Amino acid sequence: MSHPQPAGAVAPPTPVPSPPAPAQPPERSVAWREALDRLRAAATTEPGRLRIIGAVLALLLVAFGTVTAWQVAARASAADDVVHRSQPLSADAADIYRSLADADTTAASGFLAGGQEPRAVRQRYEKDIARASELLVKAAAGTAGSDTSRSRIAELNAALPQYTGLVEAARANNRQGLPLGGAYLRYAGDRMRDDLLPAARGLYESETGRLGSDYGDAKSWPWAALGTGVLALAALGRAQRRSFLRTNRVFNHGLLAATGATTVVLLWLAVGHGVARSGLESSSAHGAESLQVLNEARIGSLQARGDENLTLVARGAVLTKNGDDAYEASYRDGMGKLIGGGQGAPAPGSLLDRARDLADDTAGRAPVEAAIKDVREWQRRHSGARATDDGGYYDQAVPKVIGETGSTGESFDRVDDELRQALDHEQSEFRQAADDGRGALSGLAEGAAVLAVLGAAGAVLGIGRRLSEYR
Amino acid sequence: MTGGDRGVNAPLRALGTRARSRPLLAAATAAGCALAATAAVLVPTQTGAARERPDRPPAAVEGPARGVSATKCANPAASLRPTGDLDGPAVQRIKARGKLIAGVDQNSYRWGYRNPATGELSGFDIDLVHAIAKDILGDPGKVMFLAIPTNRRIPAVQSGKVDIIARTMTINCDRIKQVAFSTAYFEAGQQVLVPKGSPVKAFDDSLKGKKVCTAEGSTAEAKVREEPHGSTLLTVPNHLDCLVRLQLGQVDAVVNDNALAAGQAAQDPSVELVGKPFTTEPYGVAMNLKDVDLVRRVNKVLEDYRSGGANSPWMQAYQHWLASGLGGADAPPAPEYRD
């Protein structure tokens, strides 16, 4: 067992070209020269060659184990980041975005109800604002690295209290019966659209970008490990062929064991990483795409709902360049993106159409299908409410929008609920796929290290056995 | 209201002065409508300076039409007499329908606004519409109110979507070519609204370096662009948005019809109108040019509405909706006729 020594002794051959030797102190120079001479002498004798071969094999195997453990650990940690850090942060950012849009929509609903603002509506608004603030604090803590995210969070923190102040001013004026309240609410809505939502969107995009880069890190092939593994296998093969040619012995048990260990690690690495990669890829299809499209659809429906409410709040006070009601025009625009025009199936390329295409099982498709149906119902009810308002029956139009039953608000609530279900489903699909992927890498780093050391030991023992024949 | 009263009252006192000179006007009217127009313009008032340029819309807005209309538009506010055919095809159309369709505003406090508490439309313009419905249909409630945005008022009348527009609509030379107006039922003017204690004292150089807010596309915007007095301009979609900006300290002054501004002051006791009105804006009920009988009928309603001295329906509506914001008025503006 003292044979591994040569490995250590031979290790320094790298500095073989030792021109600095003469400059060294005499003793060192002599020692170097002696070592070099010994090596040269060794290379000319069979035992010496065997020692060198053993050392090289052991070195290659240890290097293989080390590189594999290191690269796999890096990928596993990136996969951990995906699951535990960047995806939750991206989901939180989406939640901030959604909470803000929901707060704005709810504020407008409560406003329309006037002095009779239902308690549930008020509570929903307050919950939205509390949730957004809470998630902003969390995001600020979690996103230490990114400048973009930090500046978006700062913008949101500055604009949110201004927004809530404007909503309170709107509410106070409205309760006094002053039309100024409507002007305040529209101004608050403008701040939401022009400042808060774009900043929340920026935060979401920045966090989602980081998710993408963590995915990239986790999925990149460990080429260095695979390369060293193949190299180690080739070296083992050559050593065994040499041994066979010289001794006519077919098997060298030590070298065979080393080959086995290396093959196992190499296969494990390739298959494990392949499985992890496909798990992550499938989670990315759900995470970065399905979730993203569903989030956008949900926010799109929130904004359309906000526009619908504000059309009644503004009562024609704000017009587009061609003289249409600005909020009604914005509603139509939002609905166009969400589901497209016409009836029945969503227009190709619309958010709900994409969400349905991305849903890859019935459990995921069902809520999206239901949402499509309810958005169409919402559109029908909306046309009815608009016709009533345009016909001069404002007071009858209001219950068609914010009433308990048969209103567009009821349709919207259903759509929101269905999209939430779809999101929950995709989120759990994501989590499962990502966990499966991550699981494929578990134990690989440690296993590779242990097996590589065993392989190195096998190689050294195998060579040692041949060496002993020269004693 | 203390310091603000002077500014707010000025136009109303002017109205009062003018009403007292009604006999003179009537005589002038009898003598001929052109003469009457001149007399109306020349009647000395406290706001005489502003009245020297009656109903001249700023060149930026209606410049091209000015040269043509200036000659035959000496007094756009002169309307048709409430005599002769008061029950013609237009009135019959309304009677057959059983409802008067009126285009109104829902956002102008004290004029036409929807009370969030009751959901009811109310205000000075709305009362007038009810009076018209009562005269034609015998029931003040037989009205269908349509909220018509500012820039849709003329198309709504022309297309027949509404029978009348009662929506703080200024009678001017350009508009009388597109729609028919009743006699003036109110006289307003552009004025400056500021927080109490503001260094801005009027529409003059005290605006230097200040930020002024107007509604987009309003005559006030054109006026401020024409004579900025060193101010910078912010335009917003609706006149009420200016009050929001003023309360938030984003602008220093609002330029607006004093009638609408008075509605704003009524919503915020800490702002006031300053200076004198620097334009004259008679408000009229707009109708389709073809509905001659309806114009005469509405003018008859207005005659009734104005009559009765201090107890006239006009005075009662004024007391109810506008007196607190604008101060006391003695009488409605006198009607002027061109036939």
Give tens-digit pLDDT for A453-471. Answer: 999 999 888 888 888 887 6
For residue A438, being part of any structural domain is answered with yes
Task: Quickly name the fold that domain B89-187+282-326 has.
Answer: D-Maltodextrin-Binding Protein; domain 2 (3.40.190)
A316 touches chain B (CB under 8 A): yes
Q: Is residue B129 over pLDDT 60? A: yes
Determine the residue of chain A that is closest to B148 in CA distance.
Answer: A316
For residue A19, being part of any structural domain is answered with no
Average pLDDT score over chain B: 79
For residue A24, being part of any structural domain is answered with no
A386 touches chain B (CB under 8 A): no
**Cross-chain residue pair A115–B241, CB shorter than 8 Å:** no
B146 touches chain A (CB under 8 A): yes
Distance from A386 to chain B by nearest Cα, in Å?
12
- A contacts of B109 (beta carbons < 8 Å): 178-180
Assembly ipTM:
0.71
* Cα–Cα distances in angstroms (integers) from residue B15 to residues A54, B186, B189, B190, in the given order: 115, 9, 11, 15
**Cross-chain residue pair A316–B115, CB shorter than 8 Å:** no
Largest CA distance in chain A: 111
Residue-wise pLDDT tens digits, A359-403:
888 888 999 999 999 999 999 999 999 999 888 788 889 899 988
Q: Is residue B66 over pLDDT 90? A: no
pLDDT at B328: 60
Host domain of residue A386: 4-12+48-464
Nearest to A174 among B116, B152, B247 (CB): B116
Residue-wise pLDDT tens digits, A204-254:
888 888 888 888 888 899 999 999 999 999 999 998 888 888 888 778 888
**Cross-chain residue pair B107–A325, CB shorter than 8 Å:** no
- B contacts of A321 (beta carbons < 8 Å): none
What percent of chain A is modeled with pLDDT above 90? Answer: 42
* Cα–Cα distances in angstroms (integers) from residue A80 to residues A77, A89, A91, A133, B81, in the given order: 5, 13, 16, 26, 86
**Cross-chain residue pair A184–B244, CB shorter than 8 Å:** yes
Q: pLDDT band at B327, cuts 50/70/90?
A: low
Q: Is residue B79 over pLDDT 60? A: yes
Q: Are B107 and A182 in contact (CB under 8 A)?
A: yes
A178 touches chain B (CB under 8 A): yes
**Cross-chain residue pair A318–B240, CB shorter than 8 Å:** no
List, edge to edge, every strand of the sheet that includes B253-257: B232-236, B211-215, B253-257, B190-195, B271-274
User: Do the strands B112-114 and B180-181 form a parallel or antiparallel pair, or are they unpaired?
Assistant: unpaired
What percent of chain B is modeled with pLDDT above 90? Answer: 45
- Report whether CATH 3.40.190.10 matches the domain B190-274: yes
Is the C-alpha dihedral spanning A70, A71, A72, A76 positive or negative?
positive
For residue A448, being part of any structural domain is answered with yes
- Report how far residue B100's alpha carbon sits from residue B330's, in angstroms, rounded to the nearest whole number: 30
Mean pLDDT (whole number) for B228-239: 91
A366 touches chain B (CB under 8 A): no
For residue A247, being part of any structural domain is answered with yes
Q: Is residue B165 over pLDDT 70? A: yes
Is residue A361 exposed (0-12), middle (13-18) or buried (19+ Cβ within 10 Å)?
A: exposed
Q: pLDDT band at A90, cuts 50/70/90?
A: confident
For residue A43, being part of any structural domain is answered with no
Determine the residue of chain A that is closest to B119 in CA distance.
Answer: A395
Mean pLDDT (whole number) for A52-79: 90
Q: pLDDT band at A6, cuts 50/70/90?
A: very low
| Residue bearing tokens 């029956």 | A393
Q: Is residue B301 over pLDDT 70? A: yes
A322 touches chain B (CB under 8 A): no
- Report how far residue B209's alpha carbon sits from residue B155's, in angstroms, rounded to the nearest whole number: 39
B 237-276 residues with CB below 8 A of A? 237-238, 240-241, 243-244, 247, 264, 267-268
Q: What is the per-residue DSSP string for B169-207? A: PBP-TTGGGTSEE-S-SEEE-EEEEEETT-S--SSSGGG
Helix axes A147-175, A87-113, angle to 10 degrees: 10
B108 touches chain A (CB under 8 A): yes
**Cross-chain residue pair A315–B240, CB shorter than 8 Å:** no
A398 touches chain B (CB under 8 A): yes
Mean pLDDT (whole number) for A291-307: 90
pLDDT at A433: 84
Residue-wise pLDDT tens digits, B142-158:
999 988 877 788 999 99
Domain tally, chain A: 1
Task: Look at A413-422, B69-78, B188-197 and tell me which has the smallest mean pLDDT.
Answer: B69-78
Q: pLDDT band at B329, cuts 50/70/90?
A: low
Residue-wise pLDDT tens digits, A104-150:
999 998 888 877 788 989 999 999 999 999 999 998 887 666 788 88
Domain boundaries, chain B: 4-52, 89-187+282-326, 190-274
- Name the region of B309 (left: φ>0; alpha: ψ -120 to 50; beta: rest): left
Task: Look at A32-46, A206-220, A349-363, B64-78 and tell me which has the smallest mean pLDDT.
Answer: B64-78
Task: Look at A157-166, B25-34, B100-109, B254-263 and tell me which has the smallest mean pLDDT.
Answer: B25-34
Q: Is residue B278 over pLDDT 60? A: yes
- Report how far residue A89's alpha carbon sits from residue A145's, in angstroms, rounded to the nearest whole number: 12
Query: CA A72 from chain center: how many Å?
Result: 18
Identify which of A167, A171, A168 has the alpha carbon closest to the alpha carbon of residue A115. A171
B219 vs B169, residue with greater confidence: B169
Mutate to test the interface with A, among B238, B251, B264 (most CBs of A within 10 A): B238
| Phi, psi for B170 (deg, rounded to 5) | -80, 135
pLDDT at A444: 87
Determine the residue of chain A that is closest to B144 in CA distance.
Answer: A392
Mean pLDDT (whole number) for B38-43: 42
For residue A29, being part of any structural domain is answered with no
Mutate to test the interface with B, among A313, A315, A320, A324 (most CBs of B within 10 A): A315
For residue A22, being part of any structural domain is answered with no
Average pLDDT score over chain A: 86
